[in-house]
Structure 1
């Protein structure tokens, strides 16, 4: 078991105390991080004692302990999965060679860019979610939000450690910049578009943690294959925490659907206005939120054809999802993959070199995984006897990046005119009225065991605690 040293100022399992220069640099960054947390972290939460999970080892069988802690005092730290001195590179042009323990000079700029981009998403989501605690539907949900927040904070630490340890002065400057950009800021926005969107309400939060944190799962899985061993070991541990974020999203939407179905059955109606009048979220609004978050998230995978993606793979910097389970040659030269483009007003498939289509390969893996979860949501409706089903829109719907950017397409995959798009957009994507309605439901519920009217309670509590456990103690 690889345990974590909590006696140090910065908890870690990387023997930080043996590198005094690095330790001092990170201890210098630490107050800036706390200042950022106080400034744009969860609003109004400073004196709360929150029932949080803290990693105590990177061993998958016993890596977490639970207890009430003030978030500001959470023991953020630097945790890598155990190393393997014999690990080999298993894809790209260096297939079969030993994994790198340091950054090869020729890959320095690309690796730094990958780490900075990943690192930038972590504080961004904390900033996007900072107001949500003020409108929580229950203590259980408030605790889950805060657990997601502190783990995003720890993922930021993970990337900052790599920047400080392996990239010298450039890395230190990039680490500072990660705290200077801010989600949605006009002058210093976050790097990726989805991380500058607002998360205005809890339905948006559940969709974000289901879809956008799932993008995180696939990006981290691709980086966990990296020939740069410290990055691979770091992201493997981050994946353990990412699973909880997706659980929050999937179970959150399930509970919203459960409550909506209950109201529809009680009133014997599928009329959205009657469902809304009863204080539940109608299925049309849930579908529109799904369409928006799904389409914004699949843009995060980047352009359908990318020379950068080819370079990252061939160089060994970033593999595919579950690279080791694939049965091809792991070099991919001469192989092709189908991507979409529009010709004469129609969507058509065309074969392109697979190396250039690796963003699309990862996007398609994500889509398959997302669709499976939406099927589980539909089982909630099926079990309640509701005939409506949620659907995932076509992958070319509402795209802003790549060959499909700006194409006007219906959720079922038809290319439509500007006029039809303008007429139907309010059926396909959330409207200002939808946001206003959902916002009107967002009253704060913090009495243990009580839940807002628009969401069902969970089946069980956290860490075998009862659902009405005091998950948050308000100072």
Structure 2
């Protein structure tokens, strides 16, 4: 079933009305979600009419409908990709068996852990971004922020449905806890550290949606391979919405760079003081923000050697990125993979069993994908005729997880002393002064077609609308 029933209290394409117990449980959770949205969602925005995209089906060519809607009235719901008849488990010790429609008892705890961890990231990013609407650089950008926010809310619903339907009382308690943890809360923080970091300004937001939402893409792709069919179908649909979040990040950073290059050429200077005085963000500061968000995000993939990763793969719960396109045996017994460690003041490669290195495999796939976007940003600088180039730092730089945690590795991959690292840290990572300067530029611009001085307008509007369209109506 691909179309979505919007006549129900909870829109869905899973015939929710046929499972009255589940429907009642989700209808009891719904007010708690709306209360959380009111408290922790985008600040001061509940009355705005926002030009949002709403899923109307999960078909490739008909799943989005645009229109102005108040965010608390957005039709959050439960949407799964259509069931693929005869689907099998494609990897691990269950390879070739029929995909599971119910949770296998022996994998129950691990599956619940995977779903809870994924679910926890979704409301966390809404909480991290809740103040950004107060300093938006344009109506166009404000609308994009709100689209990201409502879709993260929908992704939370996706995980909560799985918890309620397949995990009984434990699942209901976990679903409640997803609304009780809060990003950055000293007593009850979010599960993953990157989702407790503040997102204080729009350059951070663009970097977050480029780098950290891309981690989301790779994690969802790995879960879309799962032998637990409802999880695979759920995450496949989530991926269609995740693409917009990464577009917001990539195009946002690109527009910041374009405006900076324009001012550099007008002033004929690369002097940071003069560039900042002109009210734009200098390229070295953009590089430091890139270094921070890249390094924080690659930690999200976990330790480079992980027995959990091996268990999740062997059990058929979580595959690799594009698992079915790979040409190996999809069991990986006896295969190895190279991971990094620091030995004798040098970075060295070690061969470890591939099953234990699957976090590193996914991280390396992610890094390749991330660098392609950095190269596109460099084309903007190159087109402006400027010699500066942005670079993704070495994957050992600024790591807090795994064997590289706390290693003193420079952005170009050299191991240095703690003293040398400390003396250069301000050149590599955003300083208090950098963040204060970027914050000083964050004034609210909401007149249609107007943009803050520090960012270029987009090439085109959303859904073929003009750039000066009234994307947000303030009531």
Fold match, TM over 0.5? yes
Q: Which structure 2 residues correspond to residues 12-27 of structure 1 after superposition, within 5 A?
A: 12-27=12-27
Post-superposition CA distance 1:348-388 (Å, at most 9, x none): 00100000000000000000000000000000000010110
1:200 aligned partner: 200
1:329 aligned partner: 329
| Unmatched tracts of structure 2, length 5 or more | none
Query: Structure 2: how far apart are the matches of 1:214 and 1:106?
Result: 31
2:63 aligned partner: 63
Q: Which structure 2 residues correspond to residues 81-96 of structure 1 after superposition, within 5 A?
A: 81-96=81-96
The answer to whether the aligner puts 1:186 opposite 2:186 as a matched pair is yes
Q: CA deviation at 1:419?
A: 1.2
After the TM superposition, list the runs of 4 or more consecutive aligned residues in structure 1 that deviate by more than 4 angstroms: none
Post-superposition CA distance 1:143-185 (Å, at most 9, x none): 0000000000000000000000000000000000000000000
Query: Structure 1: how far apart are the matches of 2:226 and 2:202?
Result: 35
Query: Structure 1: how far apart are the matches of 2:465 and 2:227?
Result: 41
1:232 aligned partner: 232
Post-superposition CA distance 1:242-275 (Å, at most 9, x none): 0000000000000000000000000000011110
2:164 aligned partner: 164
* SS of residue paired to 1:458: coil
Query: Structure 2: how far apart are the matches of 1:416 and 1:69?
Result: 54
Q: CA deviation at 1:85?
A: 2.6
* SS of residue paired to 2:54: strand
2:130 aligned partner: 130
- TM-score by length of structure 2 reads 1.00
The answer to whether the aligner puts 1:312 opposite 2:315 as a matched pair is no
* SS of residue paired to 2:67: strand
* SS of residue paired to 1:305: coil
Number of matched pairs: 475
The answer to whether the aligner puts 1:401 opposite 2:401 as a matched pair is yes
1:369 aligned partner: 369
Q: CA deviation at 1:345?
A: 1.3
Q: CA deviation at 1:119?
A: 0.1
Query: Structure 2: how far apart are the matches of 1:255 and 1:389?
Result: 16
| Unmatched tracts of structure 1, length 5 or more | none
* SS of residue paired to 2:301: coil
Q: Which structure 2 residues correspond to residues 44-123 of structure 1 after superposition, within 5 A?
A: 44-123=44-123
1:435 aligned partner: 435
Query: Structure 1: how far apart are the matches of 2:22 and 2:10?
Result: 11
Post-superposition CA distance 1:398-453 (Å, at most 9, x none): 00000000001110001111111111000000000000000000000000000000
Query: Structure 2: how far apart are the matches of 1:271 and 1:228?
Result: 56
Query: Structure 2: how far apart are the matches of 1:35 and 1:2?
Result: 30
The answer to whether the aligner puts 1:357 opposite 2:349 as a matched pair is no
The answer to whether the aligner puts 1:275 opposite 2:275 as a matched pair is yes
Q: CA deviation at 1:63?
A: 0.5
Query: Structure 2: how far apart are the matches of 1:307 and 1:250?
Result: 34
Post-superposition CA distance 1:208-239 (Å, at most 9, x none): 00000000000000000000000000000000
Q: Which structure 2 residues correspond to residues 146-161 of structure 1 after superposition, within 5 A?
A: 146-161=146-161
1:423 aligned partner: 423
1:255 aligned partner: 255
* SS of residue paired to 2:68: strand
Query: Structure 2: how far apart are the matches of 1:361 and 1:244?
Result: 25
1:216 aligned partner: 216
Query: Structure 1: how far apart are the matches of 2:2 and 2:339?
Result: 43
Query: Structure 2: how far apart are the matches of 1:103 and 1:153?
Result: 25
1:446 aligned partner: 446
